């Protein structure tokens, strides 16, 4: 019904039949299917909560990557809220209004604050990543919560998934180290 990026942890919804798939896809289109994520970004955003509203399309210089562009793009909207701050990093809660390929990763990189551990959209590894290389098998992005209406029963349902151990360990290290504010 929806996808998450390679090396992103968390929840997925899979339809068992075509009728369920159509019903769930319609909810995504209508923005009644909510997807909430947690991420750690490099640096600090200007505001403690906000919205990135910037169209996303294929990167003309690298077809494997996406970018914010006006050419052959689709509308993309990501809402964010600061969960915690560290010396050089910020833990965010994010909510998707749209669902474009690599949306959160592209939007955060576009703001100048790529995801910790993102080898595609971050220009360089941080000192924290270099110091703790075994923590990162990809970007620090986790699909934490999905809310939808069951396509058959009509019941509103919410599913949550705790942060994976690696993500929790990274947050713990950020809190305990000289990386914490």
* Two tokens, residue 150: 């069951």
Helices (H), the chain: 18-30, 103-110, 127-131, 165-176
How far is 101 from 4, CA to CA, in rounded Å?
Answer: 8
Q: Which residues are catalytic?
A: 5
Burial-class residue 18 by CB neighbours within 10 Å (0-12, 13-18, 19+).
Answer: exposed
How far is 38 from 140, CA to CA, in rounded Å?
Answer: 8
């Amino acid at each position: 019904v929806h996808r998450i990026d390679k090396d992103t942890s968390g929840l997925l919804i899979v339809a068992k039949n075509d009728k369920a798939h159509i019903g769930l896809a319609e909810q995504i289109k209508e923005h009644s299917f909510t997807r909430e994520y947690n991420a750690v970004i490099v640096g600090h955003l200007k505001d403690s909560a906000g919205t990135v509203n910037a169209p996303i399309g294929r990167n003309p210089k690298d077809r494997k990557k996406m970018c914010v562009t006006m050419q052959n793009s689709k509308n993309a909207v990501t809402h964010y809220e600061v969960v915690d701050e560290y010396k050089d990093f910020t833990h965010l809660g994010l909510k998707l209004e749209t669902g474009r390929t690599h949306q959160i990763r592209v939007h955060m990189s576009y703001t100048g604050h790529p995801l910790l551990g993102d080898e595609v959209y971050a220009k360089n590894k941080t000192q924290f990543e270099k110091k703790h290389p075994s923590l990162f098998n990809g970007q620090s992005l986790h699909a934490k919560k999905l809310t939808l209406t069951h396509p058959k029963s009509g019941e509103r349902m919410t599913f949550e998934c705790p942060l994976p151990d690696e993500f929790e360990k990274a947050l713990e290290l950020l809190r305990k180290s000289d990386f914490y504010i």
